[in-house]
Amino acid sequence: MQHNGHLGPCIFSAKDVEIQFNLRGKTLTAVRKASLDLYQGETMAIVGESGSGKSVFTKSFIGMLDKNGAVTGGQLLYRGQDLTQFKTEKEWLAVRGKKIAMVFQDPMTSLNPVRTIGEQITEVITWHFGTPHAQARQEAIEILKKVGISDAETRYKQYPHEFSGGMRQRVVIATAIACRPEILICDEPTTALDVTVQAQILNLIRELQRELKMTVVYITHDLGVVANVADWVSVMYAGQIVETGTAEEIFSSAVHPYTKALLRSMPQLGVKGHDLYSIQGTPPNLFKEIKGDAFAPRNPDAMEIDFEEEPPLFQVSDTHFAKTWLMHPYAAEHRDALALQDAKEKEKQKPAAPFDYQNAEKLLQVQDLTVKFKLGSREFKAVNNVSFDIYKGETLSLVGESGSGKTTIGRAIMRIYNKVDGSIIFGGEKINGKIDKKKAKELHMQMQMIFQDPMASLNERAKVDYIISEGLYNYHLFDNKEDRLKKVENIMAEVGLSSDFSSRFPHEFSGGQRQRIGIARSLVMNPDFVVADEPISALDVSIRAQVINLLNKMKRERSLTYLFIAHDLSVVRFISDRIAVIHKGRIVELAECEELFRHPLHPYTKALLSAVPYPDPKVERNKTLISYDPSVHQYDAFPPNWTEITPGHFILANEEELEGYRKEL
């Protein structure tokens, strides 16, 4: 291939790589003839959902496949050397970590918990270069400074648990770049981090890349991150690279149906009150032989040929390639029809009218809620003096970072944590503390919860039938067995699951299907109010839109009220009527959705909004990050109050700050 628009020479080239795993006696083809070129100093993002083979593919670059996996075809050329020919560990050690380094997703588990972070960096320098310890130590401190760790000499001697998640990821990055590698592979480096920290880490990697002239490979499912960092994007589906091109090309003129669908299903692009574009179904099973285009069964606009022949890689522009039959001259007619259809759809969508708060009645009131937890002999407030109301029929979102107390509020409302201060009033009655059995029973039927992790929230040893009927059994809400089965069947149909599935066990389902089972379980008793605790954050991108649409559909059809707990502002903006921003156990700002995005007042809200990734490279590259420093408040001297600054817009501030905010408005 020519050097079209590339900054430097091609230093790494994967050609028709095939990787197979042996699992339970069956062969799984995780990567099916994927090719990729990496050029010096550039950033390549590989996008795909879990199971697409993106992680496995890049792991093969450094010979780190699990024991039961192997590269069974193709070549991995690094500076002329074919890495697939490596036989001994020694050959790999000259490349792995030294020339090609890797950063993992979870910084909390990537570092050895019982050794100082300094030792862990020094170790890799002395290992690869034989540098004397004292000198390596000096280098390690320099690198720590470089990744933005202040007071590096002291922190050198500290252990991983003394660092926050973001700081740990900096240390992990420092370890990875300690040998000045040519290629840095980042496997979902920010997925486990909070949004504000994510933006900082991405900036850090970008700066380091420029300084060290590294090639960076990002593996991610988050198109917002891609837009932020990538020069080049490769989209992976079912073990193949289906489309590759510059970031601009992929975001503005994608041609593969999967890429297009992925981009269209981003909640940022959704129109409120309408269904989000969603990809149907679930990713394919790689144990089976895949015929034709792997995405065809999930593509409503697929052509007959997609089911029969595997498409070749078509060239769209000098830099843009796509593996889809749509690019074939014969498909011109179909392509035109699709374009017309798209244009029509875009036209008719107008945002729904905002929720009418004038005539709304209060369903749930939370007043001065405080939840304390004991940590050893110390006590800390997970939720600190929080007050808000939820109106009948609205969706209120609670947005905050991990550990902010948002889940605790949800669980306090659900009475999972019952020892709380303050009061929670539902339908005019206090429901926290001791209540009588009859009332508790009523509440169980009126309030339900949807959980975050579809893998953990279903009982593995029970059949779907039992899981969904659990609530019906508890209150005997059926006349006889047929009636119960009919109820189960109805709700399964509503969440889009075939009733044949009812005799299966949960592990036979994909994440999205499991989450739909969880939703069915919560809604089978016809509750009025649902606490949805991060219901989509554990799901794959292609599945999220499905579940968001399902939640919205259920809300419309059953006139539900949601408390939606999330950390992802883009989803929240699409789904909610009002948003409450929570930080360290306190709600700092609460307003109607558009009002909050238009006039954020609290500095934390501003920081949060500035960090949200947006799936458009033009927007992402020109954004400025606002960082939040809690020490700007002088709350010791002048404690803040929860104040309604304009009708419906609440903020946590003291008098002096309120003055400032009023001026801003």
Partner 1 sequence: MENEKKMPQLNPLKFRAKVFDQMLSEDTGYSNYSYWRSTFRTFFKSKAVVVLVVLICAIILMSFIYPLVSDVDPNKVALKRKMWNNRPSWEHLFGTDGLGRDIWTRAWYGVRNSFLLAFCIALSDVGIGMIVGAIWGYNKKLDPIMIEIYNIITNIPSTVYLVLLAYIMNTSYLTLFISMASRGWIVEARFFRNRILSIRDSEYNLASRCLGTPMRRIATKNIIPHIISLIIMEAALCIPYSIGSEVFLGFVGIGLPVDAITLGNIVNQGRASFTLHPYQMLLPTIILCIITVAFYVIGNKFADASDPRNHV
Partner 2 sequence: MGKYILKRTLNSILTVMIVFVAVFMLLRLMPLSGYFPPEMIKETDEATRMSYLRNQGLLDHPLVQLGRFIGQLFQGNLGRSLTVYPKVPIATLLAEKIPVTAAFGFASMIIGIVLGLSLGMLMVRFKDRWGDHLGTGYILMVRAIPSLIYLFFIQVWVSLWLNLDMVFYDDKPTSWILPVICLSLGSIAWYALWLRRFMVDEENKDYVKFALVKGLSKKQVWREHIFKNAIIPLVIYLPSDLLFIISGSLVIETLYVIPGTGGLLTTAIEKQDNNLVQVIVLMYAVLSVLGVFLGDLLIAAVDPRITLTEDK
Distance between CA atoms of residues 389 and 613, nearest Å: 29
343 exposed, middle or buried (CB, 10 Å; 0-12, 13-18, 19+)? exposed
Scanning residues 314 to 343, which ones bind partner 1 (CB under 8 A)? 314-315, 325, 328, 330-331, 333-334, 337
CB of 192 to partner 2, least distance (A): 11
CB of 253 to partner 2, least distance (A): 36
Distance between CA atoms of residues 419 and 372, nearest Å: 8
Cβ atoms 140, 225 nearer than 8 A? no
CB of 75 to partner 2, least distance (A): 22
State which of residues 357, 380, 475, 638 lies at the interface with partner 1 (CB under 8 A): 475
The entry of partner 1, partner 2, none near residue 64 (CB within 5 to 8 angstroms by kind) is: partner 2
The entry of partner 1, partner 2, none near residue 52 (CB within 5 to 8 angstroms by kind) is: none
Does residue 493 interact with partner 1 by CB under 8 A?
Answer: no
Distance between CA atoms of residues 207 and 147, nearest Å: 9
Cβ atoms 120, 170 nearer than 8 A? no
CB of 368 to partner 2, least distance (A): 29
Nearer to partner 2, 58 or 196 (CB): 58
Q: How many other CB atoms are found less than 10 A from the CB of residue 150?
A: 9
CB of 175 to partner 2, least distance (A): 6
Nearer to partner 1, 198 or 265 (CB): 265
Q: Where along the sequence are the contacts to partner 2 (CB under 8 A)?
A: 62, 64, 89, 92-93, 95-98, 101-102, 104, 106, 109-115, 120, 123-124, 127-128, 159, 161, 172, 175-176, 179, 375-378
In whole angstroms, how far apart are CA 537 and each of 204, 269, 470? 25, 18, 25
CB of 494 to partner 1, least distance (A): 14
The entry of partner 1, partner 2, none near residue 127 (CB within 5 to 8 angstroms by kind) is: partner 2
- Give the residue among 245, 243, 246, 248 at the shortest CA–CA distance from 262: 243
Does residue 307 interact with partner 1 by CB under 8 A?
Answer: yes
What does 495-510 look like in DSSP terms, one character per residue?
TT--GGGGGS-GGGS-
Nearer to partner 2, 106 or 301 (CB): 106
State which of residues 306, 568, 577, 592 lies at the interface with partner 1 (CB under 8 A): 306
Nearer to partner 2, 32 or 128 (CB): 128
The entry of partner 2, partner 1, none near residue 634 (CB within 5 to 8 angstroms by kind) is: none
Contact segment (CB under 8 A) with partner 1 among 124-132, 147-155, 294-302, 570-578 equals: 294-302
Nearer to partner 1, 312 or 630 (CB): 312
The entry of partner 1, partner 2, none near residue 337 (CB within 5 to 8 angstroms by kind) is: partner 1
Nearer to partner 1, 113 or 329 (CB): 329
CB of 2 to partner 1, least distance (A): 13
Nearer to partner 2, 374 or 461 (CB): 374
Distance between CA atoms of residues 635 and 71, nearest Å: 59
Nearer to partner 1, 136 or 383 (CB): 383
- Rg of the chain over Cα atoms, rounded to whole angstroms, equals 26
In whole angstroms, how far apart are CA 501 and each of 332, 484, 517? 40, 15, 10
Does residue 466 interact with partner 1 by CB under 8 A?
Answer: yes
Total chain residues near partner 1 (CB under 8 A): 73
Helix or strand run (H / E) with residue 30: strand 26-39
Residues 6+ apart with CB under 8 A from 385: 368, 369, 370, 422, 586, 642
Instruction: Pull the structure tokens for residue 356.
Output: 């009418």
Scanning residues 507 to 546, which ones bind partner 1 (CB under 8 A)? 507-510, 513, 518, 521-522, 525
The entry of partner 1, partner 2, none near residue 312 (CB within 5 to 8 angstroms by kind) is: partner 1
Partner residues linked to 69 by β-bridges: 21
The entry of partner 2, partner 1, none near residue 98 (CB within 5 to 8 angstroms by kind) is: partner 2
- Ramachandran angles phi, psi of 427, nearest 5°: 55, 35
393 alpha carbon, distance to own chain's centre? 27
Contact segment (CB under 8 A) with partner 1 among 60-68, 256-264, 304-312, 564-572 equals: 304-312
Contact segment (CB under 8 A) with partner 1 among 42-50, 102-110, 251-259, 498-506 equals: 498-506
- Ramachandran angles phi, psi of 493, nearest 5°: -65, -40
CB of 129 to partner 2, least distance (A): 11
Distance between CA atoms of residues 267 and 572, nearest Å: 9
The entry of partner 2, partner 1, none near residue 629 (CB within 5 to 8 angstroms by kind) is: none
Nearer to partner 1, 97 or 292 (CB): 292
Sign of CA dihedral 200, 205, 208, 210: negative
167 alpha carbon, distance to own chain's centre? 20
Scanning residues 266 to 285, which ones bind partner 1 (CB under 8 A)? 280-282, 284-285
The entry of partner 1, partner 2, none near residue 62 (CB within 5 to 8 angstroms by kind) is: partner 2
Cβ atoms 206, 152 nearer than 8 A? no
Nearer to partner 1, 337 or 625 (CB): 337
State which of residues 77, 313, 477, 485 lies at the interface with partner 1 (CB under 8 A): 313
Cβ atoms 472, 478 nearer than 8 A? yes
Distance between CA atoms of residues 141 and 134, nearest Å: 11
- Give the residue among 257, 325, 321, 328 at the shortest CA–CA distance from 36: 321
Residues 6+ apart with CB under 8 A from 80: none
Sign of CA dihedral 456, 462, 463, 468: negative
